[in-house]
Amino acid sequence: MQHDLKFGWLSPCIGNQWSDHQPIVVSQVEKILPTATRYFDSVWIADHFYGFDARTDPFMEAWTTLTWIGATFDDIELCHHVLGHGYRPPALTAKMAATLQVFTGGRFVLGIGAGWRGDEYEAYGYDFPRPAVRFAQLAEVVEICRRMWTEDHPSFEGEHFTITDASAPPLPDVVPPICIGASGEQIGLPLVGRLADRWHGIMGRPEDWLRKRGIVHDSAAAAGRDPESIVICSTVEVPLPESDADSAQLVERLAGYRDLGVSHFVMDFGNPESTEPIQRFHEQVISPLR
């Protein structure tokens, strides 16, 4: 299955010394995203509660921020990069997702993972079990979400979570696709193959990436799924191009990733101050690759 090549824009929720301690996403909604959303297919928002340099650095909450963006721009796909499932109870996650999907007319993708930032969980009083448990919980979260999005009277009893007639009306007309962020070869990637509509992976050496992609595909096939139906997303952290040479280098780099199976690039450009390079990126990178 050949997927159309798509480009996502990662808008940073953080405010730090390089943004005068103002949340970057706030200024981007006003000054940058009106241009970017003309050319990009999706906007992505990271799910954390405080910064990485100092806990006092502002960091906007992910679900509220993505909802704000969805209300501001009416023709862009919305995804988290990615939610830590342990930050919100599963049934609440399902209900919030269904509501946002209705409000946005089917533009929401549930980006979710097992979580990794233990200090953040502990600071907020959330449990942070070992990875095997977190991924087992994630599998149950996915099951709960899909039932609550498609059934009038959903119930589920798992090892970790239970719902009983957890109705979530109105059911969304478009069931949100689920994008799972994972990289672990023993647990995370097999789970992606079994359950995910999309996989967000971290690009490394080509041989390592191909091995990880193979695990996802083999797991999908073993579960009776078409491996090629899983959309592969990956984040590329790079400045916007400032010259023809910069653009040419980016085209070569992204074409290589495309040849390795990536069809949805999540571009992390940091905090650009001008929209001119966005136009350049569209004309000299997006258009040639498409």
| Total of domains in the chain | 1
Alpha-carbon torsion, ordered 144, 80, 35, 232, to 10 deg: -90
Classify residue 188: in a domain, yes or no: yes
Cα gap 213→67, rounded to integer Å = 31
Cα gap 127→35, rounded to integer Å = 40
Average pLDDT of 237-249?
A: 97
Classify residue 141: in a domain, yes or no: yes
Classify residue 39: in a domain, yes or no: yes
Mean pLDDT of the chain: 97
- Compute CA distances 286 → 43, 57, 209, whole Å: 16, 33, 23
Cα gap 207→120, rounded to integer Å = 33
Average pLDDT of 218-225?
A: 98
Cα gap 239→39, rounded to integer Å = 17
Predicted confidence (pLDDT) per residue in 78-109, tens digit: 999 999 999 999 999 999 999 999 999 999 99
Amino acid 24: pLDDT? 97
Band (211; pLDDT cuts 50, 70, 90): very high
Tell me the residue type at 228.
E
Amino acid 263: pLDDT? 98
Classify residue 111: in a domain, yes or no: yes
Band (43; pLDDT cuts 50, 70, 90): very high
Predicted confidence (pLDDT) per residue in 169-207, tens digit: 999 999 999 999 999 999 999 999 999 999 999 999 999
Band (29; pLDDT cuts 50, 70, 90): very high
Say which DSSP state 238 is in. Answer: -
Q: Is the pLDDT assigned to residue 208 strictly greater than 80?
A: yes
Average pLDDT of 133-146?
A: 98
Classify residue 146: in a domain, yes or no: yes
CATH number assigned to the domain comprising residue 248: 3.20.20.30
Q: How many CB atoms lie within 10 A of CB 262?
A: 23
Look up the domain containing 123 and give its range. Answer: 6-289
Classify residue 68: in a domain, yes or no: yes
119-135 b/e (C-beta count within 10 Å ≥ 16 → b): ebbeeeeeebeeeeebb
Classify residue 1: in a domain, yes or no: no
Classify residue 158: in a domain, yes or no: yes
Is 201 in a helix, a strand, or coil?
strand
Q: Which of 122, 59, 52, 130 is nearest to 87 (CA)?
A: 122
- Compute CA distances 225 → 58, 125, 195, 197, whole Å: 42, 38, 9, 10
Band (2; pLDDT cuts 50, 70, 90): confident
Cα gap 194→182, rounded to integer Å = 13
Say which DSSP state 25 is in. Answer: H
Amino acid 165: pLDDT? 98
- Compute CA distances 274 → 33, 39, 243, whole Å: 11, 15, 14
Q: Is the pLDDT assigned to residue 157 strictly greater than 80?
A: yes
Q: What percent of the chain stands above pLDDT 70?
A: 100
Q: Is the pLDDT assigned to residue 18 strictly greater than 90?
A: no
Tell me the residue type at 280.
R
Cα gap 9→48, rounded to integer Å = 18
